[in-house]
Structure 1
Amino acid sequence: MADGGRRRRAFIGSFTAAGGPGLVTAAVHPDSGALALRGRLDGVPDPSYLALSAGGDTLYAVSETADGAVAAYRVNGDKLEPAGPPVPVGASGPTHLSLHAGHVLTANYGSGSVTAVPLRADGSLARAPSGLHQHTGSGPHERRQRGPHAHQVQPDPSGRWLVSVDLGTDSVRVCTLDRGTPALHREVALRPGSGPRHLAFHPDGAHAYVVNELTPTVTVCRWDAETGSLKPLTETQVLPGAPAGDAYSSGIVVSPDGRFVWTATRGEDVLSVFAVEGEGLRLTGTVPCGGHWPRALAESGGFLYAANERSGDVSWFAIDPGTGMPRYEGSVGVPAASCVVFDTVAAE
């Protein structure tokens, strides 16, 4: 929760091609977790995923378009101001980005690659990427896995490695950032046809959880930061029974204390709750996501937030500290919502 002269702020991305407003800012109520929309920035095509600088003064967004790009925006109160022109990433369909070692990294779903764009000293973007790592391979799903589809890229907790998750090749790649170019260290195979989408690390820095889109499961892995090694251990269903229809898992979040894992599943439109038990997960229940087609999931200040793309809203849930079970509290309308991120700033 916010405390002593601090307040939380949210930034929401959306698909403009589906009627979304682009980038939206919101205030976060310190007690209820409720979002109150404050401002928007039009003219940003399909900013489907966002990341904040460490100081919260610059917001970065991908444009998930055929000629993909990344852009930086200065955060001025509840307003966003462009910090230079968008930078093409040399690939199509970037769906995720993260910050690492003075670079913005994008996972490019359409091209199946990872791009690195250098950051200048003021947090703005260099004019061009410094390097690109092309994934290769395919999977057994005839329509979705004909080639690589990088869906996420992020640094590991130690800051020594980059980890990219590829839905098209059923694998996770561990890379270094060698003079501005992502370089493959090792590729870790997951179950064929699982379609890995996103990975979240446990606070202990020794375990990671991969949510799989094509089969609604979570793969529990052991992570060794010394060697850059990821070892799959078990796979757990995210639903208590067979899906009633289509079910495509999307977001995954680990609680700050490491006791719980939450996932979102589209189609079934539920959030799943897992208790962390040693090196395994136990599904303890599911709740409705508060909308339709939850694309992304985030935790902030003891609340869970779901960006529901097709119903066009962001829902928030209070979290039971004993069980980890989310309780629906409310939602705010954001057409084609795709992502929500948070920071904490000094109160005005």
Structure 2
Amino acid sequence: MGADHAQRAFIGSFTSAGGRGITVAAVDRDTGAPSVLASTDVVADPSFLAVGHAPGSGDTVLYTVSETSEGAVAAFGIDGDGTPRLIGEARSVGGSSPTHLALAADHLLTANYGSGSVTVLPVRDDGSPGPATDVLRHEGRGADEGRQSGPHAHQVLTDPSGNWVLSVDLGTDSVRVCALGPGSLRLHAETALRPGTGPRHLAFHPSGRHVYVLNELEPTVTVCRWDAVGGLLEPLGETQVLPYDHDEGGAVRTYPSEVVVSHDGRFLWTANRGHDSISVLTLDETAEKPVLAAAVGCGGRWPRDLTLDPSGQWLYVANEHSGNVSWFAVDAETGVPAHAGSIEIPAASCVVFA
């Protein structure tokens, strides 16, 4: 694999389930194939990763949650040979089981599933996280007693304008919109979704005017209109992400995990645990009425994460229970992914690109 044809990918995994922690891979741009360069298990259960840059130097920094009951985040520099190097120290998030993190205006934000909260940590000049400066606690519950007895923040991210922070809460069937100030979050609005759907993650359309909220407790995606000026999210309708006959006998329940939109805004993909598939939905010019076009096997079992590479040509699936990352070539005309290969990554949980 020539240097000109490789890019870096970072793979998270659950160390408590036999994973390697953080794996760094070189990815061939022509074939999509990743090759492992190095790994580290210095942080427990780094289930979700994000790539940023140190404010002082501009160097690439890899951030990770530690999805444990104590809850922490850490930052890594990446040496020339791919070896991850811890920067500073791991920091408590003041909440339990952080499942997602994002960068916004020199701050690191985490969604803490166990405690139902979002944490703000400043990012120092060297890229390391400082002590938490704010913890915004969600309130409420949902219709599913087993899964929604309290708030469960599952994702946090900024909108394309960079003016708003959105947090998706599976436990309260809602999405919160917040304003980020110096070291703090202020709740601006909360959008209620249909009770019992259990929203998990969302993705923006490239236009920035629509949002697709993937629900975990029902295999549906909720289409919303996004007003970036007012910071308001308006639900428009729901679409099934699986064929209606996907489980006629009721033996296998499906828990969708991740939603991705193509760079040109023509396709939407979801990863579906239980059904162990990738769904393909087409989007028209309005972007408001996804149509289910196909569902293909995910190349493993229990697809926890789905990622589109920067070129838009390859989809990567972190299959947690089968312990592998599979990659797929995306058909530019239909959006249907074709399995191209797999690599063993025990307890794989996410894939991100530099």
Relative to the length of structure 1, the TM-score reads 0.96
Give the conservation status (yes or no) of the 8 Å contact 1:12–1:25: yes
- The correspondence for 1:179, drawn from 143, 168, 182, is 182
- Return the offset for 1:329: 0.4
Alignment match, 1:336: 347
- The correspondence for 1:266, drawn from 265, 270, 273, is 273
Alignment match, 2:107: 103
Structure 1: which amino acid aligns with 2:196? G
Alignment match, 2:289: 280
Is there any run of 5+ residues in structure 2 with no aligned partner, and where?
Answer: none
- Return the offset for 1:188: 0.1
243-252 or 20-29, which moves further after superposition?
243-252
Q: Which runs of 4+ in 1 moved over 6 A?
A: none
Alignment match, 2:49: 50
Give the conservation status (yes or no) of the 8 Å contact 1:153–1:165: yes
Equivalent-residue separation in structure 2 for 1:53 and 1:29 (angstroms): 22
Equivalent-residue separation in structure 2 for 1:194 and 1:87 (angstroms): 33
- The correspondence for 1:141, drawn from 139, 144, 166, is 144
Describe how 1:232-251 pairs up with structure 2 within 5 A.
232-244=235-247, 245-251=252-258
Equivalent-residue separation in structure 1 for 2:2 and 2:281 (angstroms): 29
- Return the offset for 1:243: 3.8
Equivalent-residue separation in structure 2 for 1:16 and 1:280 (angstroms): 40
Question: Using CA pairs below 8 Å that are at least 6 residues apart, which structure has the higher relative contact order?
Answer: 1
Superposition RMSD in Å: 1.4
- Return the offset for 1:95: 0.1
Equivalent-residue separation in structure 2 for 1:161 and 1:190 (angstroms): 19
Is there any run of 5+ residues in structure 1 with no aligned partner, and where?
Answer: 344-348
Equivalent-residue separation in structure 1 for 2:222 and 2:135 (angstroms): 27
3-state SS in 1 of match to 2:16 = helix
Describe how 1:1-348 pairs up with structure 2 within 5 A.
5=4, 7-54=6-53, 57-77=60-80, 78-126=82-130, 128-244=131-247, 245-277=252-284, 278=286, 279-300=288-309, 301=311, 302-343=313-354
Equivalent-residue separation in structure 2 for 1:249 and 1:56 (angstroms): 35
Give the conservation status (yes or no) of the 8 Å contact 1:57–1:76: no
Q: 1:218-244: CA deviations, max 9, x gaps?
A: 001100100001001110001012442
- Return the offset for 1:50: 0.1
- Return the offset for 1:7: 3.3
Q: 1:63-114: CA deviations, max 9, x gaps?
A: 0000000000011121100001100000000000000011110000000000
Relative to the length of structure 2, the TM-score reads 0.94
Give the conservation status (yes or no) of the 8 Å contact 2:89–2:128: no
3-state SS in 2 of match to 1:72 = strand
- Return the offset for 1:193: 0.2
Equivalent-residue separation in structure 1 for 2:343 and 2:119 (angstroms): 33
